[in-house]
Amino acid sequence: MIKVSKWQDYECLDAGNGEKLERWGNVILRRPEPGAMWKIDFNEKWNHVHGFYHRSNKGGGYWEFKEKLPEYWTVSYQDLTFKVTPTNFKHTGLFPEQATNWEFMMNKIKQAGRPIKVLNLFAYTGAATMACAKAGAEVVQVDASKGMTLWAKENMHLCHLEEAHIRFIVDDCLKFVQREYRRGHKYDAIVMDPPSYGRGPNKEIWKFEKNMAVLFEEILKILSDKPLFFLINAYTTGISSTVLGNMLKMSMQKYGGKIETGEVALKISNNDLILPCGIYGRWESND
């Protein structure tokens, strides 16, 4: 398990009873967290929040704002800055537990001593893209959502990466990878954060259990002869990090290097508990 410890602008204040209490800069948000199944007593601080996302019995939910918030605000992690705003599907546009993976990628790119081309699939609002670009890599990021891609471009400006080599592609990830293979394009590093379920821009259906193995095999065709890393994040219930490790082991062992798998997690400030936030599998070269 890897835990994030270097945040200044984010803090998981407490978690339990299926919810979490977070500080995003100076804004306190209360949101559902299915993984926080342990029982706690809701003390007074749980009521002193700026925003509270209520789940609906019919699915989805809604935000109740105790105070008027700006349209968006920013949080920084080291020299990266990101736009944050509550969305109608409870997210804020950023997964803070991924900071440990940003650091991993940035360190690998900086230490490579050669130009690195990164492909970021299911890129969401582009946090991993900005981390890799800040480290000096050329990045192609792909996401099916036009809205999330526009958000990623805002993050690019916030990180002052206008002059970096970043391409933003709105497309179905599998179709894009297959086209890249036909074009003869290669990548030195892959990062992907596939959802459990999703739709492409032309209503293509994505299901992790059904499509992941197919996408994985297609990605292997566009790896360069000297890959640097291959990082997979996942939040799909029932999928073990061992599965990701096995996929990487069966495909990447010919390159040598090493494989690491496990959970990503956040420390809870109120006690000594840890909030699990998904799984990861990563292969890295010995460079």
Q: Judge whether 140 and 113 are in contact, CB under 8 Å.
A: no
The region of weakest confidence among 26-40, 119-133, 228-242, 253-267 is 228-242
Measured CA to CA, the distance from residue 199 to residue 226 in angstroms comes to 32
Distances (CA, A) of 105 to 102, 120, 132, 213: 5, 12, 6, 23
pLDDT of 4 above 90: no
Q: Which domains does the chain have, with CATH numbers?
A: 2-84 (2.60.40.1180), 96-284 (3.40.50.150)
Instruction: Write down the pLDDT at residue 56.
Output: 85
Instruction: Write down the pLDDT at residue 17.
Output: 96
Sign of torsion over alpha carbons 74, 76, 79, 81: negative
pLDDT of 199 above 80: no
Sheet of 10-16: strands edge to edge?
Answer: 10-16, 19-24, 27-32, 51-55, 61-65
The region of weakest confidence among 41-55, 198-212, 218-232 is 198-212
pLDDT in tens, 248-258: 999 998 999 99
Report, as an integer, the average pLDDT of 233-262: 91
pLDDT in tens, 135-159: 999 999 999 999 999 999 999 999 9
Work out the mean pLDDT of the chain and round it to a whole number: 93
pLDDT of 201 above 80: no
- Most confident stretch, 40-44, 120-124, 268-272: 120-124
Instruction: Write down the pLDDT at residue 60.
Output: 84
Tokens matching residue 108: 């690998």
CA proximity to 168, closest of 146, 189, 186: 146
DSSP one-letter code for 251: H
- State the alpha helices, DSSP H only, in the chain: 99-112, 127-134, 146-158, 173-183, 208-220, 241-252
Instruction: Write out the H or E segment, with its range, that includes residue 198.
Output: strand 197-199
The region of weakest confidence among 89-93, 124-128, 212-216, 236-240 is 236-240
Report, as an integer, the average pLDDT of 76-80: 95
pLDDT of 198 above 80: no
Instruction: Write down the pLDDT at residue 221.
Output: 97
Measured CA to CA, the distance from residue 197 to residue 108 in angstroms comes to 30
Percentages helix, strand, coil for the chain, rounded to the nearest 5? 30, 35, 40
Q: Are strands 274-284 and 117-121 parallel, antiparallel or unpaired?
A: unpaired
Instruction: Write down the pLDDT at residue 167.
Output: 98
pLDDT in tens, 211-232: 889 999 999 999 999 999 999 9
Instruction: Write out the H or E segment, with its range, that includes residue 234.
Output: strand 229-234
Share of the chain above pLDDT 70, in %: 100
pLDDT of 134 above 80: yes
Q: Judge whether 247 and 192 are in contact, CB under 8 Å.
A: no
pLDDT of 206 above 80: no
Q: Judge whether 137 and 162 are in contact, CB under 8 Å.
A: no
Tokens matching residue 20: 């979490």
